[in-house]
Amino acid sequence: MTIEAETLVQLTEALKKRGMRLLAEINFIRAPYRRNHRWVCCIGRTPRKNRAVRV
């Protein structure tokens, strides 16, 4: 998935809207970079591991 935004704040908000709140959930295919005065971010979701809960 590729996301474009004018600022890094907008880029962060776009990621949050897609449910990506932790860096551990995001696999950056390429680090955010500038192109034509916009920030571009290529990412993939990191699969979540099932965590065992002890009671």
pLDDT at 20: 76
pLDDT tens for the chain, residues 1 to 55: 778 888 878 888 888 888 777 666 666 666 677 878 788 877 776 665 554 444 4
Q: Tell me whether residue 36 is exposed, middle or buried, using C-beta atoms within 10 angstroms of its C-beta: 0 to 12, 13 to 18, 19 or more.
A: exposed
Question: In sequence order, what are the residues at sequence separation of 6 or more whose Cβ sits closer than 8 angstroms to the Cβ of residue 24?
Answer: 46
Looking up tokens 């571009």 gives 40
State phi, psi for 17 to the nearest 5 degrees. -60, -25
Do residues 8 and 32 lie in contact, with contact meaning Cβ atoms separated by under 8 Å?
A: yes
User: Whole-model pTM above 0.75?
Assistant: no
